[in-house]
Amino acid sequence: MITVVAIDDEPLALRLIVEYIEKTPGLKLLDKFENPLEAIGFLSDTSVDLIFIDIQMPDLTGIEFTRIMEKGPKVIFTTAFEKYALEGFRLDIVDYLLKPFSYDEFLKAVQKVTRLIKLEKGAPDRVEANEEFLFLKSDYKIKRINFNDILYIEGLKDYVKVYIQNTPKPVLSLSSLKLLETKLPETRFMRVHRSFIVNLQKIDTIERSRIVFGKTYIPVGDQYKEKFQEYLNKNFL
């Protein structure tokens, strides 16, 4: 678990960063601050792995804050001003997110931090992927989802719906389809549309470039047709 502190004097910007942190597996928010001076007091007594910090703030800028911090926490700058990028990297920060930034951009920055921390701890950069199940946070619970039970997955902006065989309601989880795709075995699941991933082993019927699951018709998007057709050709009699 990577422990995190967020610092930004703009309440809306701070709220967005906190939302991104809280919905990202592997991150634990320890505290958030609108005033960087208060953050210094907190960090003097508390160990933290990662700091997200704005650059232009009253009393103390993000650059000044980073200079006086003892070496230890990784730092990601969040700012609306590109001109500070060079100075940021001179301070050996991990990444530089230019506002407004998307959740995908946020995730890429977090992945850089994760790799650095693993290397520093001497941990392997990659663990063996689990081929049978995953855990999803849903309704304030963590649920085990067996891959073999999944029919298809639908992406809805910042949420995903996982449709389970013989289950009337899908499992709703705060995540992105792109992130979930990285957790699924490539030999068993395929992205066939910008909003859908299907379990290849559960496909019974294909009709007019649509995959049929009961009364649900899932279209195969143009950018995914070639890969899906290649799969069909390999398994066509």
pLDDT, one tens digit per residue, over 62-77 is 888 888 876 678 999 9
Specify whether 114 is located in the same domain as 179: no
Specify whether 44 is located in the same domain as 147: no
Number of domains in the chain: 2
Whether residue 128 lies inside any domain: the answer is no
Domain termination site, one of 93, 121, 149: 121
Specify whether 99 is located in the same domain as 208: no
Whether residue 219 lies inside any domain: the answer is yes
Whether residue 126 lies inside any domain: the answer is no
The C-alpha atoms of residue 36 and residue 54 are separated, in whole angstroms, by 9
For residue 7, give the CATH number of its domain. 3.40.50.2300
Residue 85 has pLDDT above 70, yes or no: no
What integer pLDDT is reported at residue 102 of this predicted model?
93
Specify whether 117 is located in the same domain as 137: no
Query: For the residues 16-43, what does the mean pLDDT come to?
Result: 93
The C-alpha atoms of residue 115 and residue 2 are separated, in whole angstroms, by 11
- How far from 129 is each of 37, 58, 123, 198, 201, CA to CA, in Å? 42, 46, 15, 19, 19
Residue 146 has pLDDT above 70, yes or no: yes
Q: What is the pTM of this model?
A: 0.52
Rg for the chain, CA atoms, rounded = 21
pLDDT per residue as tens digits for the range 43-63: 888 889 999 999 888 888 888
The C-alpha atoms of residue 31 and residue 52 are separated, in whole angstroms, by 11
Helix-helix angle 11-22:103-121, to 10 degrees:
60
Q: Which domain holds residue 161?
A: 133-234
What integer pLDDT is reported at residue 94 of this predicted model?
86
Is residue 137 a contact partner of residue 148, using CB atoms and an 8 Å limit?
Answer: no
